[in-house]
Amino acid sequence: MEEKECLTLPALFAGAASRFGERPAMALVGETPISYRELNQRIGAVMAWQQKLGIQKGDRVAILSASIPGWGVSYFAVTFMGAVVVPLLPDFHSSEIRNILEHSGAKAIFISDGLLAKINDLPDDLVPTRIRVEDFTLILHPGTPIPFEPEAKPVEFIPVAEDDLAAIIYTSGTSGKSKGVMLTHRNISFVARKSEKVQEINETDRFLSILPLSHTYENTIGLVFPLSKGACIYYLGKMPTPSVLLPALQAIRPTVMLTVPLIIEKIFRSRIKPRFTGNIALRLAIHIPFIRRKLNLAAGKKLMDTFGGELRFFGIGGARLNKTVEKFLIEAKFPYAIGYGLTETAPLLAGSNPRNSRLQSTGPALDGVELMIHNADSITGEGEIWAKGPNVMKGYYKEPGLTEEVITPDGWFRTGDLGFIDKDGYLFIKGRINNLIVRSGGENIFPEEIESVINNFRFVADSLVMDRNVKLAALVYFNPDEVRQHLHLKEETIDHGQEMDKLCQELKLYVNHRVNKFSQIQEVIVQTEPFEKTATQKIKRYLYS
């Protein structure tokens, strides 16, 4: 009988360290990667140091850092010794960071240079041990300073069980209330293992990481998963602006990338769409299916070259992908794939790969995960998505009442998302229950679907649809540079006068010709500043309701 695999982070990595010893493991772009053997040594040295600093099993240790190799070293050094990691998003406000550190009771924090200012005003006794993540030098410690020794080994190896807590991840969601999601070693390791059923990877793969490691999506699938299979991960060390990202793509020539819809949608709107709309002949030709497919295929080849030419898996998750953009990716034969999940499910619940992607679907359930539609509508088949599996969180930290609200007594997790499952087992997401607008006649309106149409309109950067006094209103943030160019304005602030009113009216007509009568917008409100967003680039809707 085959022995059951131990689903803990140290067990997962131990096998990889022994199999891939001298293979490259991780690096900043432009630097030589450290090997799996070197990574294993570095993790062990940080574990040994933590033990000397008084950190024990069960202690909470925070990480506030840009995505760099030291982030992963810190994460594994904490979890391998049975302590609990508390990842903090780099864009959290100082007050949010303080609240989380107080709520979690963090005993220590690993922090990168660029974020030190966010904790400078914290009292020393709030987080008594503070460590610089770039080189593991001690910033603050209540006792005698203990230097980090790169060749040290742990005095003892603490046994870690599958049900032991590995991480408390505080969400920065669209609803406004931040909750500490408790994920066990089994939760995270299960997803890392089962991700291979979605897309196989091996020691020849190169990941280019562009998302925050403090988000579960990048953490589990972009760190734990590749390192369990011998792949190499490269980090930008900076924000993925075009000037930083484009040279990195050519230098690394990644085979795997994980991203959110906003990134590929921006590329489509800024680089692909203008080629077809800036020329009258192409603008007409694009409406002929045969020609459109040819044009999209040619654009897809150029897009592949932009990404280094060797990409075979471009994972998109964290938010809904615009339908027009997805149609382009299909016709361009770009190797995209959609995944769906939540922080509470570590995160993956369903996913596809480039060979089995289906328009507007997140793919079938992850192997070993059960999905059901609760109280499905008898006509549409739509209802709340419920999930059950080894990846469902332990609960919300110090919030038993909230935990009971989302996890049923028999273990089903209520996702809060509306969707349906087709006859082939593919999941389709309609939107969040909390965002659903129900008309007096009983019609269900999904704001996300209307927003997808709005965002296809020229000059629109982003939008938010809401119910205002029984009227559907669209808050719209136009791309300032494109609007200035269109209206022949100078660099000063755009005047929201007659010309902008015409543009809003044009947008309203554009949208209302493309949605059903119940989803037609009555008002367009110009948003003068970019919307505030979560780590996965979803608008924080509660700020605008």
Q: Is the peptide bond before 159 cis (omega within 30 degrees of 0)?
A: no
What whole-number distance in Å separates Cα of residue 312 and Cα of residue 319? Answer: 21
pLDDT of 498 reads 76
What structural domains does the chain harbor?
9-193 (3.40.50.12780), 260-389+408-432 (3.40.50.12780), 436-543 (3.30.300.30)
Residue written as token pair 């791309």:
479
Q: Average pLDDT, whole number, for the chain?
A: 92
Question: Is the peptide bond preceding residue 347 cis, with omega within 30 degrees of 0?
Answer: yes
Res 440: pLDDT: 67
Q: Is the pLDDT score of 1 beyond 50?
A: no
Report the amino acid identity of residue 85.
V
In DSSP notation, 494-540 reads PP-SHHHHHHHHHHHHHHHTTS-GGG--SEEEE--SPPPB-TTS-B-
Three-state DSSP class for 174? coil
pLDDT digits (tens, 9 = 90+) for 195-211: 999 999 999 999 999 99
Residue 487 has pLDDT above 80, yes or no: no
Question: Which three-class secondary structure state does DSSP give residue 306?
Answer: helix
pLDDT of 279 higher than 90: no
Distance CA 400, CA 131 (A): 32
Q: What is the pLDDT of residue 216?
A: 95
Give the model's pLDDT for residue 168.
Answer: 98
By three-state DSSP, how is residue 10 classified?
helix
Q: How many whole angstroms separate alpha carbon 470 and alpha carbon 477?
A: 22
pLDDT surpasses 90 at 244? yes
- Residue 164 half-sphere exposure, CB side, CA atoms within 13 Å? 23
Whose CA is closest to 200, among 232, 235, 226, 234? Answer: 226
DSSP 18-69: HHSTTSEEEEETTSPPEEHHHHHHHHHHHHHHHHHTT--TT-EEEEE--SSH
pLDDT at 492: 55
The helix/strand/coil state of 123 is: coil
Greater model confidence, 282 or 288: 288
| 239-243, 244-248, 368-372, 449-453: which is most confident | 368-372
What would the two tokens of residue 87 be? 């990842």
DSSP letter at 482 equals: H
CA distance 348 to 196: 12
SS3 152: coil
CA distances 57 to 8, 85, 159, 229, 416, Å, are: 14, 11, 9, 27, 34
Q: Could you report the per-residue pLDDT of 131-190, keeping only the tens digit for each? A: 999 999 999 999 888 999 999 999 888 999 999 999 999 986 555 567 999 999 999 999
> Whose CA is closest to 374, among 405, 332, 419?
419
What confidence category does residue 318 fall into, taking pLDDT thresholds of 50, 70 and 90? Answer: confident
d(CA 94, CA 119): 7
Q: Are 317 and 211 in contact (CB under 8 A)?
A: no
Query: Residue 435 pLDDT more than 60?
Result: yes
Per-position b or e across 454-464, b if 16+ CB within 10 A of its CB:
bbbbbbbbbbb
Q: Classify residue 399 as exposed, middle or buried by CB count within 10 Å of its CB (0-12, 13-18, 19+).
A: middle
134 secondary structure, DSSP code: T
pLDDT the model gives residue 2: 47
80, 249, 325, 361, 395 from 8: Cα distances, Å: 9, 33, 38, 31, 18
C-alpha distances out from residue 117 to 90, 91, 213, Å = 12, 12, 20
Separation between Cα atoms, residue 361 and residue 288, nearest integer Å = 25
pLDDT-based confidence at residue 483 (cuts at 50, 70, 90): confident
Give me the pLDDT at residue 280, please: 73
* Tokens found for residue 97: 């960071």
Write out the two tokens for 137.
């030098």
Q: What percent of the chain has pLDDT over 90?
A: 76
pTM to 2 decimals?
0.90
Q: Is the dihedral of CA 208, 213, 217, 223 positive or negative?
A: positive
Q: What digits encode the pLDDT tens for the residues 492-538? A: 555 557 788 899 999 999 999 999 988 999 999 999 999 998 877 88
